[in-house]
Structure 1
């Protein structure tokens, strides 16, 4: 699904792309946490959270030295195999891991625009899959766009984009505010809330 912000993101600097991606990963985190809770792997949820915390640190702490190749290896060990589970929750959990993997690849390779667009689409497709699962049928693009869930996801992505777009230079306070707002709300891109 095309999101009008993709074209506009071409003007973003690296830190803006990475912050946008970190926000989307933060929104996907509860999906992974809930899956880990149900499948009794709460230690894996902590690993995911720690990796994401390191990304935020990379964005806000000047000169933070973090080995992201090492973090990517840790992440790869906790990606759930969808064939081993017969419940829906494994899909958004796998998407969350894929999203975080895109973010780490973006940091490592320095290719951020393409990864940011990919992650934006991934988050939308997680929501689309969720809506179709709820309605027990496939929906065409127009039907999907009209659902409140997709509307909400597009709105949130647009809101994050707008706040970042207003910055002339890296704004640590804004980055932290975005992180805290999403984390405090604790609501995932498919509307799940995981209470520890």
Structure 2
């Protein structure tokens, strides 16, 4: 599904891409956490959250020294294998883990645009997969475009984009505000709610 936001992201600086990606990963975290609760792996949810916290630290603390290669290894150890589980929850959890992986890769490699677009697509894909699972059929682009859940996901992505777009230069307060707003809402892209 084409998302007009992807064209606009081309004009962003790398800190804006990284903040955009971190926001989307933060929004997908409840999906990962719920999966960990259902499979009784609380440590894995903690690992995800810790890695994401380090990304926020990297974005907001000047000269923060973080070994992201090491964090990527930790993440790879907790990525669920869809073949090991027979319930839907593994899919959004995998999307969340893959998104965080893309974010870490972009920090390590220093290329951010492609990953920002990929995470934006992954987040939409999670919503689309849920709708297809609920309706037990493959949805066409028009079906997806008119789905309220897809509209909501696009709205959130645009909202994050607009806030970042209005910022001329890296603004630590703004980055922290975005993080805190998404975290305190505690609702994922597919409506999974967690209390902190």
TM-score interval (norm. to shorter): over 0.9
Aligned-residue Cα RMSD (Å) equals 0.7
Q: List structure 1 segments (4+ residues) > 3 angstroms apart after TM superposition.
A: none
CA shift, 1:195, in A, is: 3.1
Structure 2 matches for 1:79-98, cutoff 5 A? 79-98=79-98
TM-score, normalised relative to structure 1: 0.99
Within 2, Cα distance between the matches of 1:9 and 1:144?
Answer: 22
Within 2, Cα distance between the matches of 1:189 and 1:147?
Answer: 13
Structure 2: runs of 5+ lacking an equivalent: none
Match for residue 159 of structure 2? 159
CA shift, 1:194, in A, is: 2.1
| Alignment deviations for residues 106-128 of structure 1 (CA, whole Å, 9 cap, x no partner) | 00000100000011001000110
| Alignment deviations for residues 28-65 of structure 1 (CA, whole Å, 9 cap, x no partner) | 00000000000000000000000000000000000000
Within 1, Cα distance between the matches of 2:106 and 2:38?
Answer: 30
Within 2, Cα distance between the matches of 1:135 and 1:152?
Answer: 18
Match for residue 112 of structure 1? 112
CA shift, 1:137, in A, is: 1.3
Match for residue 77 of structure 1? 77
CA shift, 1:2, in A, is: 1.2
TM-score, normalised relative to structure 2: 0.99
Within 2, Cα distance between the matches of 1:85 and 1:60?
Answer: 37
Within 2, Cα distance between the matches of 1:2 and 1:174?
Answer: 28
Within 1, Cα distance between the matches of 2:141 and 2:166?
Answer: 30
CA shift, 1:136, in A, is: 1.6
Say how many residue pairs are matched. Answer: 196
